[in-house]
Amino acid sequence: MTTESVTPPPANPSGIPAVFLDRDGVINVDVGYPHREEDLEFIPGAARAIQLLNQHGYLVVVVTNQSGVARGLFSEAQMKAFNALLVRRLGAKGAVIGAVYACPWHHEAQDPAWFHEDHPDRKPNPGMLLRAIADHNIDPARSFMIGDRESDMEAARRAGVKGFLFHGPDLADFVHDVLGL
């Protein structure tokens, strides 16, 4: 099932603004399916960028494809533990992540439990963003996404939020520019 036909939510002036961040390659260095504590290395400026977003009233939401679970490279529990570690380490630096949404399903799954031909949450589909918008009363018109792939930009477009493509090197400098500071 594709979610191309999903209608983006209307602007919600009573909702809150949010920034959707991809995980690997935006917040942390993409070392190839990171899932262990020793794999966690932050992109330069990641904590400062999230602090800046927090200070400007944005809910920060991580939206991440995690096909390593479906491919049998690590377990769902390991994925959740890595996400929790990332949130804790950023929190210790004063950078608050409000929510994490992860999509472990993939069409090349080794485990049939994680097989899905085109899961609505797997970017470029907008499912994770749309669920976060509904779950947290987010106003898509005042929100945006930062990702490092075209699939992130497509998910943002389909969810009705602006998208900004990040290619490094410093996330804080990038966020500073996006916010026009």
54-100 pLDDT, tens per residue? 999 999 999 999 999 999 999 999 999 999 999 999 999 999 999 99
pLDDT value for 4: 44
111 is in an annotated binding site: no
The confidence score (pLDDT) of residue 181 equals 87
User: What is the reported pLDDT for 62?
Assistant: 98
Contact 75, 34 (CB under 8 A): no
- pLDDT at residue 8 in the model: 60
Q: How far apart are CA 132 and CA 127, in angstroms?
A: 9
- Mean residue pLDDT across the chain: 94
CATH top-level class of 20-57+75-106+152-181: alpha beta
C-alpha span between 161 and 37 (Å, rounded):
32
- Catalytic, out of 22, 121, 139, 152: 22
**Whether pLDDT at 6 is above 70:** no
Q: Are 80 and 125 in contact (CB under 8 A)?
A: no
Q: Is the pLDDT of residue 14 over 90?
A: no
Catalytic residue list contains 121:
no
pLDDT-wise least confident of 3-17, 32-46, 98-112: 3-17
Does residue 175 carry a pLDDT above 90?
yes
| 24 assigned to a ligand binding site | yes
pLDDT at 146 exceeding the cut of 90: yes
Q: Which two tokens stand for residue 70?
A: 């479906």
Separate counts of helices (H) and strands (E) for the chain: 6, 5
Look up 24 and say whether it is catalytic: yes
Any known ligand binding at 116? no
C-alpha 73/C-alpha 176 separation (Å) is 36
Residue 2 has what pLDDT?
Answer: 37
121 is in an annotated binding site: no
Provide the pLDDT for residue 160. 96
pTM for this structure?
A: 0.93
